[in-house]
């Protein structure tokens, strides 16, 4: 009697099963490796870089210590009124960005400890919006816990909005907390409307404003649209939707640009852009997270396509920078200057935004000489890991999958305990978004 399953059929079935089983093992191993990388980043960030005011600082020594500015230094603008090159330079930017990781960690774990960490980051953002006139978003605080450097920027303000929106949008905030956060966001947004989207500085700053959302470039368009759409998403106040719909279609051009003016929607559809020869994914990410938020909130098919197109284009540009981290030498012992007060050698009084930028840029040249470790951590690690996060912000899994191995290699390359700067934190965001793809 012939066997009911011919030998050839059984061999094919066995081969198919073996291949499927092997693929499953590889995927499981990769998932474990991604989770392990995320945990290493998470542990190091919370060990060293979240300060007592629940603000993510720029850098520390390996034991978590750093020289915090005094109130007097902040008021005098030392080393500069922007707070550049200090450990408290980017608190609103980094807290807002890092909430993407904190919220997604909670979505994967549903652990109360993870929700509490996200709440702490949100509270840090609320603190930074309470230290000056309405609309001013501070960078960090002096050792009194209340005094900030006097100048904010659009790079601080848009992540401030994104982080708080993400926290509420994903349902982590309790009702009273939600109402309190939204009230503060409405306050800040209303001020920006009155300033025509210029970012207010603190009382006594060298200039009244620093940065804008109002232009027609990658730096401006996605940020303005996101804030307007997010405010409608949170409040359901029709005025925000009306302003959003007008701003989407409004056209303009860069100063001196002879090309036909573009709408903000067309600018968003083009995706992230760099200026000059250097890669700038860390600042470009502000626009990409706004695009991601817009894509999640949007219901208009034409707008939705444009945002998806911009996210795909941003992925392609960012992906080129992901392998850079492989050039970083974990055994490097290059000096890293943590005592930013040495830069006061090149300090001078500042009476305008241009003065503040000039002082800071002069100091940057000296910092490059005094701190040779800084360049590799910025140009290789920061660029690579912000780029990795940008790749994972794309909603199209088919576009992300070809980069999965490169992304994992980047996340696994570093010894995070031996880095001075905190700008490896986007690796955690990228890892969680890769994990969430498996749950989609």
Question: Could you please report the per-residue DSSP string of 95-106?
Answer: HHHHHHHHHHHH
Residue 265 makes CB contacts below 8 A (sequence gap 6+) with 225, 248, 249, 302, 303, 306
Closest by CA to 121, choosing from 26, 55, 49, 47, is: 55
Predicted confidence (pLDDT) at residue 275 exceeds the cutoff of 70: yes
Other Cβ atoms within 10 Å of 260 Cβ, number? 8
**Mean pLDDT, to the nearest integer, of 164-176?**
97
Q: Are 351 and 206 in contact (CB under 8 A)?
A: yes
To 10 degrees, what angle do helices 404-412 and 7-44 make?
40
Predicted confidence (pLDDT) at residue 227 exceeds the cutoff of 90: yes
The conformational region for residue 271 under phi > 0 = left, psi -120 to 50 = alpha, else beta, is left
Distance CA 407, CA 319 (A): 9
- Say if residue 436 is preceded by a cis peptide, omega within 30 of 0: no
Q: Quote the pLDDT of residue 166.
A: 98
Q: Quote the pLDDT of residue 114.
A: 98
**Mean pLDDT, to the nearest integer, of 304-319?**
98
Chain center to CA of 166: 12
Residue 120 makes CB contacts below 8 A (sequence gap 6+) with 50, 54
Predicted confidence (pLDDT) at residue 4 exceeds the cutoff of 60: no
Distance CA 187, CA 261 (A): 32
pLDDT band at 23 (very low <50, low <70, confident <90, very high): low
Q: Quote the pLDDT of residue 22.
A: 53
Predicted confidence (pLDDT) at residue 3 exceeds the cutoff of 60: no
Closest by CA to 142, choosing from 91, 176, 104, is: 91
Q: What is the pLDDT of residues 382-423, one digit of tens each?
A: 999 999 999 999 999 999 999 999 999 999 999 999 999 999
Q: Quote the pLDDT of residue 280.
A: 95
Q: In percent, how much of the chain has pLDDT > 70?
A: 94
Q: In terms of C-beta density within 10 A (0-12 exposed, 13-18 middle, 19 or more buried), how is residue 186 classed?
A: middle
Partners of 262 in beta bridges: 252
Partners of 56 in beta bridges: 50
pLDDT band at 145 (very low <50, low <70, confident <90, very high): very high
Q: Quote the pLDDT of residue 2.
A: 54
Distance CA 162, CA 177 (A): 17
SS3 of residue 229 by DSSP: helix
Tokens for 396, please give them.
């199209």
Q: Quote the pLDDT of residue 151.
A: 98
Please provide the average confidence, as pLDDT, over all residues in the chain.
Answer: 95
Distance CA 5, CA 3 (A): 5
Tokens for 63, please give them.
């034991």
pLDDT band at 253 (very low <50, low <70, confident <90, very high): confident
Q: What is the pLDDT of residues 91-141, one digit of tens each?
A: 999 999 999 999 999 999 999 999 999 999 999 999 999 999 999 999 999
* Burial readout 70-108 (b: 16 or more C-beta within 10 A, e: otherwise): eeebbbbbbbbbbbbbbbbbbbbbbbbbbbbbbbbbbbb
């Amino acid at each position: 009697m012939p066997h009911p399953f011919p030998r050839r059929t059984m061999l094919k079935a066995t081969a198919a099963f073996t291949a499927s089983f092997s693929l499953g093992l590889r995927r499981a191993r990769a998932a474990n490796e991604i989770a392990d990388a995320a945990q290493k980043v998470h542990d190091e960030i919370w060990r060293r870089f979240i300060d007592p005011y629940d603000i993510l600082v720029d850098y520390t020594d390996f034991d978590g210590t750093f020289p915090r500015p005094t109130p007097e230094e902040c008021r005098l603008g030392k080393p500069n009124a922007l707070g550049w090159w200090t450990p408290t330079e980017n608190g609103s930017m980094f807290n807002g960005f890092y909430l993407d990781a904190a919220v997604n960690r909670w979505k994967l774990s549903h652990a109360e400890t993870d929700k509490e960490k996200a709440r702490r980051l949100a509270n840090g953002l609320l603190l930074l919006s309470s230290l000056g006139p309405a609309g001013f978003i501070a960078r960090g605080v002096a050792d009194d816990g209340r005094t900030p450097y006097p100048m904010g920027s659009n790079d601080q303000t848009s992540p401030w909005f994104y982080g708080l929106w993400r926290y509420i949008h994903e349902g982590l905030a309790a009702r009273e907390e939600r109402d309190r956060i939204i009230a503060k966001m409405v306050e800040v947004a209303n001020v920006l409307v009155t300033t025509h989207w210029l970012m207010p500085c603190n009382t006594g700053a060298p200039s009244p404003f620093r940065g804008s959302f109002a232009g027609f470039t990658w730096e401006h368009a996605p940020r303005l649209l996101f804030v307007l759409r997010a405010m409608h998403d949170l409040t359901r106040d029709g005025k925000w939707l009306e302003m959003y719909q007008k701003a989407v279609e409004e056209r303009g051009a860069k100063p001196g640009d002879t090309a036909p003016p573009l709408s903000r929607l067309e600018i968003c559809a083009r995706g992230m852009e760099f200026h000059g020869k250097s890669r700038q994914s860390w600042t470009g990410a502000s626009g990409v997270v706004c695009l991601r938020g817009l894509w999640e909130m949007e219901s208009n098919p034409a707008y939705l396509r444009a945002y998806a197109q911009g996210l795909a284009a941003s992925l392609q540009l960012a992906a080129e920078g992901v392998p850079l981290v492989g050039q970083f030498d974990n055994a490097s012992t290059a000096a890293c200057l943590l005592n930013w007060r040495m830069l006061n050698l090149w300090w001078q009084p500042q009476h305008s935004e241009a003065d503040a930028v000039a002082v800071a840029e002069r100091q940057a040249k000296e910092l490059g000489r005094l701190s040779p470790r800084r360049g590799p951590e910025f140009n290789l690690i920061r660029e690579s890991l912000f780029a990795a996060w940008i790749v994972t912000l794309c909603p199209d899994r088919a576009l992300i999958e070809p980069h999965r191995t490169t992304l994992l290699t980047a996340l696994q390359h570093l010894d995070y305990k031996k880095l001075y700067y905190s700008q490896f934190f986007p690796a955690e965001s990228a890892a969680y978004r890769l994990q969430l793809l498996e749950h989609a």
